[in-house]
């Protein structure tokens, strides 16, 4: 049974990493806690749901389009609103992203209502047995795609010109500007990447979880916790933190009952913040 619990935890972890990676990027680069992040994930889920419902696209087929749309929204928000407040006190940026979250959430509620929706495909992929463990293939595919996208973000930050510019702007805004990085545009790109990844995560989550505007708090909470677990602003940290959180939730649910898993992970969050704010794995990472 323990093996099964661990496997479920790992599968959750891949999804969590993808939810958190973009949040971590924005926090690290812009020094903004984006309270809108959970709702961007939900928006991605809804777009995937619409693509499925009206066009008959499989969520994985719709994924690039969903990521693009949510990413564009992110770029617009950064260019129109957030770029004006980069470097403001914590409260100002928190309040702004909270306001944007209220707006977006209200729009989602108006458009879709509060009830849960699911993407019901004619056939799911079923379950296989590996070494006596049940492996639901839907979840396995979802987790792998999520991990792959997170890895893609890592490669992009590491090896592309844009990625290096983002990291440079993160390390030292003024020095980056002197080196010819257009910082404002870089911020737009960073936020768009983060939003796009959130949207993509939403599309993947739509494969395995029901969709509702009420989910966004849960996703935001996951992003917080993963970010703190893995260390701020590093993609590798987000992956590690996601996997650890998945395992912890799975084990805690097994040991104390599923309804108490949230308590365990948030207490873990507070304790870690207080005693090891640089995350479980040491140094503050760049990319």
Partner 1 sequence: MTGRTAMVGSWVAAIALTVAFFFGADAYALRLGMLLAMYIALSSAWNIIGGMAGYPSFASSAFFGLGAYAGALVQQKGTPMPLAWCFGALVPALVALVIGWVVLRLRGHYFAIASFAVAIVLRELATNWTSLTGGGMGVNLPVLSISVLAQARFFFAAQATLAVIAVAVSALVAYSRLGFALACIRQNETAAGMLGLDARRAKAAAFALSAALAGAAGAIYASSIFYIDPGDVFDVLIAVKPILMAMLGGAGTVAGPVIGAAVFFAFEQTVWAHFLSIHSGVLGMLVVALALFLPRGLLQWKYAKKTA
Query: Contact at 8 Å (CB) between 200 and 142?
Result: no
Q: Nearer to partner 1 by C-beta: 106 or 124?
A: 106
Q: Nearer to partner 1 by C-beta: 3 or 277?
A: 277
Q: Nearer to partner 1 by C-beta: 162 or 264?
A: 264
In whole angstroms, the minimum distance from the beta carbon of 11 to partner 1 comes to 23
4 to each of 109, 131, 194, how far by Cα in Å?
Answer: 36, 10, 32
Would you tell me which residues interact with partner 1 (CB under 8 A)?
Answer: 27, 31, 33, 81, 84-85, 88-96, 98-107, 110, 217, 221, 224, 228, 259-260, 262-263, 266-267, 269-271, 273-274, 277
In whole angstroms, the minimum distance from the beta carbon of 7 to partner 1 comes to 26
Q: Nearer to partner 1 by C-beta: 77 or 192?
A: 77
Burial label, 200 (beta-carbon count in 10 A; 0-12, 13-18, 19+): buried
Nearest-Å Rg of the Cα atoms of the chain is 18
Q: Nearer to partner 1 by C-beta: 110 or 130?
A: 110
In whole angstroms, the minimum distance from the beta carbon of 254 to partner 1 comes to 16
User: 130's torsion region: left (phi>0), alpha (psi -120 to 50) or beta?
Assistant: beta
In whole angstroms, the minimum distance from the beta carbon of 105 to partner 1 comes to 7
Closest CA to 285 of 224, 230, 244: 230
Crossing angle between the packed helical segments 216-230 and 235-256, to the nearest 10 degrees: 110
In whole angstroms, the minimum distance from the beta carbon of 51 to partner 1 comes to 25
Rounded to 5°, angle at Cα 33 from 27 and 38: 105
In whole angstroms, the minimum distance from the beta carbon of 135 to partner 1 comes to 30
Q: Nearer to partner 1 by C-beta: 48 or 101?
A: 101
The neighbour count for residue 131, using CB atoms within 10 Å, is 7
- How far, in whole angstroms, is CA 20 from its chain's centroid? 3
């Amino acid at each position: 049974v323990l093996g099964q619990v661990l496997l479920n935890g790992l599968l959750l972890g891949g999804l969590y990493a993808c939810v958190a990676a973009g949040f971590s990027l924005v926090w690290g680069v812009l020094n903004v806690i984006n309270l809108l992040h959970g709702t961007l994930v939900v928006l991605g889920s809804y777009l995937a749901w619409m693509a499925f419902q009206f066009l008959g696209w499989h969520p994985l087929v719709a994924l690039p389009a969903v990521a693009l749309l949510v990413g564009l929204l992110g770029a617009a928000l950064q260019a129109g609103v957030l770029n004006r407040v980069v470097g403001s006190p914590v409260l100002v940026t928190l309040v702004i992203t909270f306001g944007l979250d209220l707006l977006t959430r209200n729009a989602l509620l108006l458009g879709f209502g509060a009830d849960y929706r699911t993407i019901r495909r004619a056939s799911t992929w079923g379950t296989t047995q590996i070494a006596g463990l049940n492996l639901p293939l839907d979840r396995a595919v979802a987790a792998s795609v999520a991990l792959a996208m997170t890895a893609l973000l890592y490669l992009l930050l590491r090896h592309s010109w844009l990625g290096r510019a983002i990291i440079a702007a993160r390390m030292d805004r003024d020095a980056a500007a002197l080196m010819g990085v257009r910082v404002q545009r870089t911020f737009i790109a960073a936020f768009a990447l983060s939003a796009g990844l959130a949207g993509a995560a939403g599309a993947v989550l739509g494969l395995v979880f029901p969709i509702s505007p009420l989910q966004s708090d849960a996703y935001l909470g996951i992003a917080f916790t993963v970010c703190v677990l893995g260390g701020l602003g590093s993609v590798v940290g987000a992956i590690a933190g996601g996997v650890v959180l998945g395992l912890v939730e799975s084990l805690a649910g097994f040991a104390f009952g599923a309804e108490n898993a949230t308590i365990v992970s948030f207490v873990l969050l507070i304790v870690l913040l207080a005693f090891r704010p640089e995350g479980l794995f040491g140094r503050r990472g760049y990319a």
